[in-house]
Every structure is written in structure tokens, then in C-alpha cells.
Amino acid sequence: MKYDGQISELKNLLPNAKSILIAIPAGADIDKLSAGLALFLTLEAAGKQVSIVSDDNILVSQSHLFGVDHIQKTLPSTDGGNLTLTLEGVAASDGTVPALEKLDWFAENNNLNLVFHVLPGQIFQPGRIVPHYQGSGFDLIFVAGAANLNALGNVYSQNQNAFSGAHIINIDTQTANTSFGQTNVLDAAASSVCEVITNLITDLGYNLDTDTASNLLAGMFDATSNLSDPKVTADTYMAVANCLRVGGKKPSVGSANTATPVIKSAPQNVIAKSQPTYDWNAVAAAIGQQVTPQVVTNAADNNQPSPEEQPAAEGVISETVEPEWLTPKIFKGTSLG
């Protein structure tokens, strides 16, 4: 399993996670959007209560992705519920706190003070204090393709309490990523976020389905210009193959957001006495089409017969009389009639 070493804690948290959020950065491309939706569909199919949010409006070019109608711009309320303060890094594996003798609290000037009585010779220094709102917040927050939490836009800036009270899973390929998650699945060598998600879903023990795989293929093909990017490796092709095996559909070239231009033929009823010179590039730019110049040549250039040589059935009468036609003619024969 490719990311097994990075997700050991996440594997323990997932079975009991009741509320999960998937956050997509502002200005997300097809790759990041597809990655988030693939996670959403996978966790929803596993029976999890999951929401997906983005600070952006969905574009027409993104509307073909499966599950896109579930993306919201605002989070469910995280207010209320019992507040739990988690002090990280102070408990032993057996659940005891070796450095702590007891805990007291008292109110002072509208503040609540917690007093941790530390045993002599011991050090009690939490690595981080995290608030949890039991019953109303998110247990897990997956962030797909964001270098930092500020990249989420209003989704983060207006809901910082929700993020501070949850276990954050940071999934990204950017070298500038700040490792802001409690779980960080970072792979700068991967060609796309969707490539990472394809492996992550399998590493977590979930199965790909047709819709999820189709989203992942759309993201991988978009991020790599149809697998032509130099970052494409054997791992990329393996991820693509895994998606195709379960019935994922490759994106059709030019079907999503490109339109095939309609090329009209040049008029056939216009004949020029001499061939004009056109700036065909200027013509193409003016009408927004690819134009192939139609060459019209003079009759003499094609060695076509002169009007005198054309059959009379064509209705062509010469205006010039040949001189020998006016000379008297004497016809001779071998016998008289």
C-alpha cells in the first residue's frame, strides 16, 4: 500500500467518525474538484455522513462530474454541543497522564482557568490544545489540493472553529504545501491529486466504483494533458488502469468544454477573371473559422479549348471570324451525281 505509513492514525479514526467534511480550495481545477468528489462518493457509499464544500460556483465545464450537485458553499452549523479540550502529546499508551497529579478549575473575571497540578520532576507540556464540539462539529476534514488552509477562501476564514476542532487530512502534490494537517498525504512526485486519491481510497480499504473512477480519470487526464505531461509515471498508468478495470470512463476529447468549429464551404457561384490575392489568416481571424483558399484559374491556365474549338452544343459562339472561312472553296470528286 503506497500511503499506508502516512494514514495509520486515520485508519483508526475512520470507523468511529460520524461527521466528515471534504473541502476544496478556491479556484480549483478539474483535477482537485474530481479528487474531492471521488472522496465524497466513496465515503457516502460507505455509509458516512459526509458533506463537500467549495467557495466557488460550479462552472458549466465542471458539470459533467459525478456528484457535483452535492457541492455547497457553506458549512453546516458547528455551534453548540459539549466542548472538549484535547491536549495532545501528554497521555501514555495505557491512558494515564504520568506527569499530572490532578486538575482544578476556577472562574476569574469572566474567564475559566484550568489548573494542571504537575508532579515534581515531571514536565507537562501539551503539543497542541484542540477544542471539539461534541455532536455538532466534524470529526474529520479532508482537504484536497490546498497548499494551506487559507487557500480554501471563505470556507476556512468564516469557519475556523470547525477546523480547529477536527482532525484534518491534508492531501496534496504541491511542494509549497505547509503540512497543516494532523494527517498529511503529500506526494510531490504524483502527476495529479486524483492519482493520489486513487491510491488513498484503496489504501483505506474502500473499493472504487464506476462513477468515482470516472471522476478520477477526468482529473488525471485533465492534469496531465491526456497523459502527455512529463510527470506521468508507471504509477500514473497503474492508477488509470485501476479506474478502467471497474468501468471508469475516459473523458472524450473536446466534449466537455471545447466546441468543434463549423467550416463552411466557399461560395461556388463566384467566378473571377483573374485570381485575387487574399490574406487568408486575416479572413480566418475575422470569421473565427479555418478557411481554405479556393483557387479559381483562367481558362487559358488550364489549357481549356478556345470558344471556337468548343462544340456548338455548349452554346458558345465565336465573335471572331477566321480569315480562311471567307475564301471561295472548290470541291472535287471522282464522279458527278
pLDDT, one tens digit per residue, over 129-148 is 876 655 457 899 999 999 99
Residue whose C-alpha is closest to residue 65's, from 38, 47, 43: 38
Which residues of the chain are in CATH 3.90.1640.10 domains? 4-81+131-245
Q: Which three cell numbers stand for residue 23?
A: 473541502
Summarised one tens digit per residue, pLDDT across range 281-314 is: 544 554 454 444 444 445 444 555 555 455 554 4
Q: What angle do CA 253, 256, 260 make, to 5 degrees?
A: 65
The DSSP secondary structure of 215-275, one letter per residue, reads HHHHHHHHHTTTTTSTT--HHHHHHHHHHHHTTPPPPPTTTSS--PPPPPPPPSS---SS-
How far apart CA 195 and CA 236 sit, in angstroms, is: 6
For 56-65, what is the mean pLDDT?
82
CATH topology of domain 4-81+131-245: inorganic pyrophosphatase (n-terminal core) (3.90.1640)
How far apart CA 4 and CA 7 sit, in angstroms, is: 5
**Of the ranges 259-268, 304-313, 316-325, which one carries the lowest mean pLDDT score?**
259-268
pTM of structure: 0.61
Predicted pLDDT at 326:
60
